[in-house]
Amino acid sequence: MSDKVVVLNGEKVNYDGRIDYSVLAREVTVYEDTREADILERIQGYRIVVTKEMPLKREIIEQFPESVALICEAGTGYNNIDLDAARAKGIQVCNIPAYSSSRVAHTAIMMLLNLSSSMQKQMSMLARGDKCNFTKCLQVDHVEVNGKTLGIIGAGNIGREVIKIGKALGMNILIYTRTPGTDEEGVRYTTFEEVMKNSDYVSLHCPLTPQTKHIINQEALELMKPSAFLINTSRGALVDEKALIQALQEQKIAGAGLDVQETEPPAEDNPLYNLENVILTPHMGWKGLETRERLVQILKDNIQGFLSGNPQNIVA
């Protein structure tokens, strides 16, 4: 059975040249990036196609050559791939659901701790030469997180990691998820509305689907406390960015930590860059070297499992 693999946008993971794709199979071709117009030409004769967050629309998949039997999404989310079209073509699709769980969870907690200490405001003050936090009383908010309420939207692999760390920090946990679990001391499953109303920090960890797009909209933001913070390390489009910017500008919520944005990178004139109550990072949660090396190892396992007749992490 052919194990020819083509990686269509390898630079997305190997942006620093430290990742070795050659371990995936005996014959691997890697393109740094691929325009939509070049996809069909580049996959001719290959059995396995690897992409990272690259849109594969129905009209493209319908034209895939007969050689293609597996599409590997080199990440957790697969909303970029038309699964129905892949099924219709008899092409299996797999993803890597847990490779970055710990690191993304740590990013969410980093946001939480920095927001609780107004760290972005302190750094901004120093950057403009304002040292009054040193020469006067502390001029910014600095609060304990123990005893505060952490709201979790989506309790998959990453959400559960954040819950674990939140508990270790002495936080009370409220969870909204499609499949509620069992309540325990300090952890309670409840409604979306209650999470939004009663949380001091709301952290998003659900996949992007038609049902979850803009789950955080104007109405949801209006439920939050004026002292509460929103954290998103999942998918940018979970949040209606215009509504969030307005809520931040009008101080309807205290601030936000955003590792993902609705458009990545944000436009040059996006107000999020300059809002003092926002921590903005470039979708870095999964980009650590150890995390990317784990990604490639699991990708290799997926491919070898497929070739041996024991496919792993199949989503379609």
Structure tokens that stand for 107 in this block: 């990013």
Of the candidates 233, 236, 296, 263, the residue with the CA atom closest to the CA atom of residue 52 = 296
Structure tokens that stand for 82 in this block: 């038309």
0.85 exceeded by the pTM?
yes
Peptide bond into 266 cis (omega under 30): no
Read off the pLDDT band of 6 (50, 70, 90): very high
Write down the H helix ranges in the chain. 39-42, 58-61, 83-89, 101-116, 119-127, 132-135, 157-168, 192-198, 218-223, 241-249, 289-307
Kindly list the catalytic residues: 235, 264, 283
Residues sharing a CB contact under 8 Å with residue 160, sequence separation 6 or more, in sequence order: 101
309 exposed, middle or buried (CB, 10 Å; 0-12, 13-18, 19+)? exposed
Read off the pLDDT band of 312 (50, 70, 90): confident
Q: pLDDT, tens digit, for every residue of 104-161?
A: 999 999 999 999 999 898 888 899 999 999 999 888 888 999 999 999 999 999 999 9
